[in-house]
Structure 1
Amino acid sequence: MDQSQTTTAPRPGKVAYKRIATEEAFAPAEMLQIWRKILEGADPDPGFVSLIGFYMSSKSARARHIIECLTDLGEQRLHHMDEAGIDRQVIALTSPGVQVMDGESAVAFAKVANDELAEAVRKHPTRFTGMVAVAPQDPEAAAKEIERGVQKLGLNGVIINSHTHGEYLSDPKFWAIFEAAEANDTPIYLHPNTPPRNMIQPFLECGLDGAIFGFGVETGLHALRIITAGVFDHFPKLRIILGHMGEALPFWAYRLDYMHRATVKSERYACMKPIQKKPSDYLRENFYITNSGVADEAAIKYTQGMMGADRVMYAMDYPYQHAIEEVGILDNMSSTPEDKKRFYQTNAEVAFGLK
């Protein structure tokens, strides 16, 4: 392991709350083989090549650590959780999951991945919670898999790794996914993906296409497309979770409200119609935010102030950012005991319906 995976920080001590990490990743070994074939195919997606092509070919300590940890749903993962003081992980199929596959393969493998994750949850019911992976390539099949994942497999939440071959859930053809999530009272975690083919080149030119910046830009765009398309007017009980301090959207809330109102009023774009509330209202009422990858008290406090303390929760972003010292930083935030418990434990329990 390199320095990004090792630390001299002491193991976090016992606290008066459970530490629930809500954006933790896994990858079935079989999926890596499918990904390898995609990489070897004709003209693979450039973002996929930049992200997964690196992790699957690099001999760096970081790349080897991440691949090894992604495929483990047993003792190594539990050891890393204990080492970091994490009581429970909420686990999801890592990006881009099945969304880089062709439609038929994606639908089939989503079931395989969900079965594997559900089995790990059954083995470790107090330590693991799983999210349902779906193939947006076939929205009706995705809706059925949400129902199966929640009602039969006992999974909590749905993982969508942002765009699917450059298409976004703001398109009504995908709204069967929202309908199923709302009907099953389960949140959608809108997780980053690398920017799509028609967006990525300026990011690739300077190495900013991944988690350092491109992820947040692309996923923030996706969330805004969902808001401005009026999705929550059609599905008012739908809940979406955004990581990485909301992909910066809470910090833009004032300007988003102002410019959305001005743009609608000016009738500049035929695609931007009036919606029932301000963009920031939907953020506060229909979204949860996790701090995944951001151990910054000032950012967390600002987002709690904007969203409400019951809307912001903890995530580590394992194994991509397994930094034990960050747990201590967050344990030591100047929050009330009640707010700290909300952040680490009870908000996740409410959002994911944990018992």
Structure 2
Amino acid sequence: MTDRNDASGLEGDASAMRFVGLEEHFVVPDVLAAWQALDPLLQDFALIPASKGEMAHQLADLGERRLADMAETGLDVQVLSLTTPGVQSLDADAAVTLQFAANELLAETVRSRPEHYQGLATLATPAPEKAARELERAVTELGLDGAMLYGRTRDENLDDPRFWSIFEAAEALRAPLYLHPQTPPPSVREAYYSGLGAAGVALGTHRLGWHYETGVQLLRLIISGVFDRFPDLQVVVGHWGESVLFFLERLAPIAAIAGLERPLVEYFRTNISVTPSGMFSPRYLRWAIDLVGVDRIMFATDYPFEVAPSGGARRFLQEADLSDADRMKIASGNWERMRAGIRR
């Protein structure tokens, strides 16, 4: 029997597609309090929308408001994850305590509405071994579907070997890791984005800086040999590859310079999947298909940070120049296939 969400060879009515968004966020009061207690130099700019205004209410709501917003934009399932910067900027003890609490809440939320919610675990990367054990617990006991990670743990990049126990656990579980943007370090913000007022803050975060930051972190994972050491590791990135796809041909020679085992593009075609993160651009979709193929593209709306018009999420794929089979792969089939391969 073929699951209607498994799009392999599937043709059918595009209006009946099930839409699953992989980058859909929430926040909880204890995490907000921990962020607010940090030294200002360690605070992520995402603290502002997470704690003030309309987005703060949307992030905090795991009930009817969120479901109504999903229905409005045309999303059937949100794969929930703790918003930027997770617990990675906290000290180890606080991070470990909050990863446990956040994952328990997330699992309870998923159990309450399994037809609408799935989840990516929060990991306390300041304590990598405990984070690896928590990933195993989250997948095998709590029923979560991988984890959301951010590129830096304070001033340490994610490719540092001390974090490799997390990749080892993820590969063994066949559980995907979603690599999400975070604000560039203060020195980078000062050097490149200062002196421009509010426009500089926007440029250094949600307009450009977040995406360059994450693209560099993704490239560091590849260049440092993480995927050579863990060849079955699966990583998902948003915003159509966080700028890297658009420079992939330019970047190609770096594989030889770094002594990698495969051409650079092959890592994207075997280990990395991309989502739109609410950037519903037909041009970017065509580019991503050309570079990595339709089987490496999943869906995401980046709730609540990107605002889609009524029905906009669903309409983007319905109107795209795709076969129904490919449309359904991107809407949910590719994710459901990856999810089905997780070792519980």
Alpha carbons of structure 1 residues 215 and 352: separation in structure 2 relative to 1, 3 Å: farther
Aligned to 2:9: none
- Report Cα offsets for 1:37-62 as digits up to 9, x if no partner: 22xx4x432x62x3314653xxxxxx
CA contact (8 A) 1:170 1:225 kept: yes
Q: Distance in 2 between matches of 1:105 and 1:153?
A: 21
Gaps of 5+ in 1: 1-12, 57-62, 265-272
CA contact (8 A) 1:170 1:226 kept: yes
Where 1:141 maps in the other structure, the secondary structure is helix
Alpha carbons of structure 1 residues 292 and 82: separation in structure 2 relative to 1, 3 Å: same
- Report Cα offsets for 1:201-257 as digits up to 9, x if no partner: 212442212111011000000000000001111100000000000102122111111
CA contact (8 A) 1:256 1:280 kept: no
- Report Cα offsets for 1:45-96 as digits up to 9, x if no partner: 2x62x3314653xxxxxx5111001111111111111122211011111000
TM-score normalised to structure 2 length: 0.89
- Report Cα offsets for 1:243-291 as digits up to 9, x if no partner: 0001021221111112443xx2xxxxxxxx4110122111111001001
With 196-205 and 139-148 compared, the bigger mean Cα shift is at 196-205
Q: Which residue among 134, 140, 144 is the counterpart of 2:129? A: 140
Q: Distance in 2 between matches of 1:156 and 1:84?
A: 23
Q: Distance in 2 between matches of 1:54 and 1:32?
A: 11
Q: Which residue among 36, 41, 44 is the counterpart of 1:44? A: 41
Aligned to 1:30: 30
Aligned to 2:212: 217
Q: Which residue among 69, 74, 87 is the counterpart of 1:98? A: 87
- Report Cα offsets for 1:175-214 as digits up to 9, x if no partner: 0000000111100000000012332221244221211101
Give the counterpart letter for 2:225 in structure 1: G
Give the counterpart letter for 2:214 in structure 1: T
Where 2:167 maps in the other structure, the secondary structure is helix
Where 1:100 maps in the other structure, the secondary structure is coil
TM-score normalised to structure 1 length: 0.87
Q: Distance in 1 between matches of 2:48 and 2:329?
A: 38
Alpha carbons of structure 1 residues 259 and 151: separation in structure 2 relative to 1, 3 Å: closer
Larger relative contact order (Cα-Cα within 8 Å, sequence gap ≥ 6) = 2
Alignment map for 1:64-103 (pairs within 5 Å): 64-103=53-92
| Structure 1 outlier segments of 4+, above 4 Å | none
Residues 1:281 and 2:266 are matched in the alignment: yes
Alignment map for 1:1-355 (pairs within 5 Å): 15-38=15-38, 41=39, 43-45=40-42, 48=44, 50-53=45-48, 55-56=50-51, 63-201=52-190, 202-205=192-195, 206-207=200-201, 208-261=203-256, 264=257, 273-325=258-310, 326-327=312-313, 328-353=315-340
Gaps of 5+ in 2: 1-12
CA contact (8 A) 1:250 1:306 kept: yes
Aligned to 2:3: none
Where 1:101 maps in the other structure, the secondary structure is coil
CA contact (8 A) 1:166 1:197 kept: no
Superposition RMSD in Å: 1.8
Number of positions where the alignment pairs a residue of Structure 1 with one of Structure 2? 322
Give the counterpart letter for 1:306 in structure 2: L
